[in-house]
Amino acid sequence: MAYRRTERVLQHLAARHDAIIAAAQDIAAAEGLAAVQIVPVAERAGIAAGTVYRYFPAKTDLVGALIAAVSAREIATFRKAADAAPGPLSALAAGLIAFAAHALRQRGLTWAVSGEPVDGAVERLRLAARKALAAEIEARIRAAISGGHLPEQDAAAAAAALVGLMLEGLIGPLAPPAAGAAARANVQTVTLLALRALGVVDARARGVVVQSIVPVEDAA
Amino acid sequence: MAYRRTERVLQHLAARHDAIIAAAQDIAAAEGLAAVQIVPVAERAGIAAGTVYRYFPAKTDLVGALIAAVSAREIATFRKAADAAPGPLSALAAGLIAFAAHALRQRGLTWAVSGEPVDGAVERLRLAARKALAAEIEARIRAAISGGHLPEQDAAAAAAALVGLMLEGLIGPLAPPAAGAAARANVQTVTLLALRALGVVDARARGVVVQSIVPVEDAA
DNA sequence: AAGGCGCATGAATCCTGATTCATTCTTATT
DNA sequence: AATAAGAATGAATCAGGATTCATGCGCCTT
């Protein structure tokens, strides 16, 4: 009869599951989402193509898992930085900076994941991720408005626009190539644009903490 | 021997060329770039699939022509509005508003074209279009800075970020659904964010013209 | 230690959509 | 009107990738 999966086997299965996602991630970071194909992913994960299907019913599910993982990390980064800040406006600034630095650190991956749908189904997943990020930002904007740190405004619309501003300004094809010092400068530039867009007249003058809350060299 | 193409024939060929692009555009606007496929495009243009290849050597060329056409219109819209404004800052504001209104008017098309590559080759074309738009905006930003209407800043980076802000804020999946009055309000909201990002403290207070320079109902 | 079940394999198959090309239709030349 | 060249057709072919599945392997159960 059907036998019970032993602990060791379960662990093995879980490890493979993760290894597949990791392989997909590596490929996406290096060559973009379009290069995330079953055979290459399987090769990189050290398994056969068919095996991928034992872990993900369809490629879409794999890509979905990839996007979800990346997105979760992005949001966690934002939230952690924001939570550590002294006030609502600093929280927003800190969150944005942390997000920016994080995005730049793994520019290729962020671009791949936020770049575009390969597929209508994937598009929906990507949308969910972006929505989550926007929601996080929106909440912080609202908090700052309540506290009188920002002028009244449509927080949802502002959050959506900020997501676009940050992504395009940091990792979009038009963004300045980001290496070392230039990258750090760009984080500052883009964050300043974002804060000003919300109505902060001069972030530094108002005592907002906008300096390297998160070192750009953080682990990925 | 090879006979000369009469005027009538030349006109016919040109008309078909345009009809194919128009068909592709309709489909892109309605269903996205991915739906721009040879057979459907040919059908809509009223010709056979093979015929498309007499006008475009490959699908990539067709999509490229489509993107170029859309992009050219976007830039012309921006430029025309900017040129009609009284000063550099108004020019920037007017251009952005005009662009925003235009983008919203043909949301589907703009989204399809700026949405993303189906293909590395197409990506390059799209990039060129986006670059052109950013360059236009960048020039206006520089002019406003020179005139002392905006604080010193990295105009290129700002322009890139603004492109992202506008597109995401207006037609991105997170943007508020744009119908009628809501659309007009969103144009104002997004433009205000953009101007503030550049350092305009209060557009209206500084006499910048931000009202319906271009009616939202313009012809597409 | 034998039996049975789940896991892994990877070549074969399927699908989707671009591209080709032998054939047919039109138009310009004589 | 006859003839040749260009234009159009659309079914067949190709190509790239996802997905399947018959087969082999090794780990639980008894």
> Is residue B169 less than 8 Å (CB to CB) from chain A?
yes
Task: Give pLDDT, residue A110.
Answer: 86
Residue B73 has pLDDT above 90, yes or no: yes
Instruction: Please indicate whether residue A52 or residue A179 has the higher confidence score (pLDDT).
Output: A52
What pLDDT does residue A117 have? 55
B31 touches chain A (CB under 8 A): no
pLDDT value for B137: 93
Q: Which alpha helices (DSSP H) does A48-87 contain, by range?
A: 49-55, 59-83
Q: What is the pLDDT of residue B87?
A: 86
Comparison of pLDDT for A214 and B116, the residue scoring more: B116
DSSP secondary structure letters along B29-71: HHH-GGG--HHHHHHHHTS-HHHHHHH-SSHHHHHHHHHHHHH
B39-48 — which CB contacts under 8 Å span 24+ positions? Answer: B45/B16, B45/B19, B45/B20, B46/B19, B47/B16, B47/B20
**In this complex, which of A116, A131, A157 lies closest to B116 when CB atoms are compared?**
A116
Residues A217 and A105: their CA atoms lie apart, in Å, by 7
Distance from CA of B68 to the nearest CA of A (A): 17
CA atoms within 13 A on the CB side of A90: 14
pLDDT tens sequence across B139-171: 999 999 999 999 999 999 999 999 999 989 988
**Helix residue spans in chain B (DSSP H):** 7-31, 38-45, 49-55, 59-84, 88-105, 107-115, 120-146, 155-171, 180-198
Give the mean pLDDT of A185-214. Answer: 73
Instruction: Give the burial class of A92: count Cβ atoms within 10 A of its Cβ; 0-12 exposed, 13-18 middle, 19 or more buried.
Output: buried
Nucleotides of C under 7 A from a protein CB: 4-12, 17-22, 27-30
pLDDT at B210 over 60: no
**Res A208 pLDDT > 70:** no
> A31: helix, coil or strand?
helix
pLDDT digits (tens, 9 = 90+) for B16-44: 999 999 999 999 999 988 899 999 999 99
Mean pLDDT score of chain A:
86
Residue range A108-162, pLDDT digits in tens:
888 778 765 566 677 777 888 889 999 999 999 999 999 999 999 999 999 999 9
- Residue B23: what pLDDT? 98
Question: For residues B104 and B98, what is the distance between their CA atoms, to the nearest angstrom?
Answer: 10
pLDDT for B116 beyond 80: no
Kindly identify which residue of chain A lies nearest to residue B194, measuring between CA atoms. Answer: A197
Give the Cα-Cα-Cα angle B209, A159, A186 (nearest 5 degrees): 85
Separation of B37 CA and D11 C1' (Å)? 18
Percent of chain B past pLDDT 70, that is, above it, reads 87
A160 touches chain B (CB under 8 A): yes
**B contact test, residue of A174, A187, A189 with most B CBs within 10 A:** A174
Which amino acid is located at A55 in the chain? Y
Whether A2 has a pLDDT exceeding 80, the answer reads: no
